[in-house]
Copies of this chain bind each other. A is one copy, B any other.
């Protein structure tokens, strides 16, 4: 196929991850090396930056800083949560996009994000096709949640999983120093899919992880939970480490996190799932319990990144550019794994944007034990290769040296 000549634009969208910028580096560095790509623009705050003509000229960045992007967490160009309307209902944004694309001769559109961002990609691609504007659109996946459909796993998940498993091992050490133990309930991200919470089992596989794990894939049974807790509490001389997903729900669909306190004005106070369970455990079992939220570090702790994840995130960005130059459009980059001589290998595949947009992948029920309070070895085998190798931001004065981009606006 003939090579399409023109400018490329790249945007970041949705919640940040530790490695979203590694994909950015993959796209930018690879695009800068293509003869047919005349300019490489970075959009400020994703699609919003395209609509507002806020483009950074990526050729003006120091190559050393672009390299540092690989180990700089969060979205260096700025992110956005913006849903494009259906073009049949309201085509204002699309007309504007076309205008901007024409003005800058944009022929390559790379967009990095999760479900919603792939929906944006899909809509942009379909509109450009409809109006006959030749432009190649490729999505680059990212999400710590690992819930994207059609791919073996997602860039961002491995580093989050590694931070979670590492932290749980450290917290296990911390929770076991006294002879009169206590209950520690750790809340991990994941509203509908339990991939991140399941990752805590990697710590258990090393003998220093949670005793009990509850995912949103299985309805949460409070009576059963208290039974589990009491059993482990007795067996472990008091020390119990529990991992729960923020999204666990009772059988009636209510979130455990909503099982909060009604304040004096009658308002329901949303506690975290872990805080609520710690309160319930303490009341019912009469034993000390604390809730701990791993919180936003899960998605930005680049100081404890997975080398496999950082490399694969870069590879996804690189592949997006190479595939687009080859002529592919309307796809999202995906991964499939193979085993060569027993060694894990991650290969690129292409997923139709229509297939990936808005679908959601959960932890298979058969990877969770029958009782619904632990995760099976199948998950350990799946996740172990994804946290392999250590990626760490280089330090200066003992602190991370993140990329410093110039972000020069293009005329």
Q: List residues of chain A with CB under 8 Å of any chain B CB.
A: 12, 16, 45, 48, 72-75, 78-81, 162, 165-167, 169-171, 173-174, 176-179, 184, 202-203, 206, 208, 261-264, 266, 269, 292-293, 295-297, 299-304, 306, 308, 384, 387-390, 392, 395, 397-400, 402
Contacts and interface: CB of A to CB of B under 8 A. Distances in A.
Which has the most chain B C-beta neighbours within 10 Å: A80, A208, A262, A398?
A398
B171 A297 contact: yes
Nearest to A169: B400
Nearest to A385: B398
Contact of A306 (B72, B262, B398, B400): B398
Contact of A79 (B45, B170, B177, B392): B177
29 contacts: A45-B179, A72-B173, A73-B173, A74-B177, A78-B178, A79-B177, A80-B178, A80-B179, A81-B178, A162-B399, A166-B399, A166-B400, A169-B402, A170-B400, A174-B296, A174-B299, A174-B300, A206-B399, A261-B269, A262-B264, A292-B293, A293-B293, A303-B303, A303-B304, A304-B304, A384-B397, A387-B399, A390-B392, A392-B392
Contacts of A300: 170-171, 173-174
Nearest to A387: B398
A302 B167 CA distance: 9
A261 B12 CA distance: 39
Given A177-B79, A263-B263, A297 B384 contact: no
A179 B389 CA distance: 34
B295 A170 contact: no
Nearest to A266: B264
A22 B78 CA distance: 41
Given A206-B399, A303-B304, 7 more contacts: A74-B176, A74-B177, A162-B398, A166-B400, A174-B300, A261-B264, A384-B397
B303 A170 contact: yes
A171 B297 CA distance: 7
A203 B81 contact: no
Contacts of A296: 171, 174, 184, 292
B202 A399 contact: yes
B397 A388 contact: yes
Contacts of A389: 398
B173 A74 contact: yes
A178 B384 CA distance: 32
Given A262-B264, A398-B389, A74 B303 contact: no
A173 B402 contact: yes
Contact of A170 (B170, B293, B301): B301
B390 A398 contact: yes
B292 A292 contact: no
Contacts of A202: 399
A72 to B, nearest CB: 7
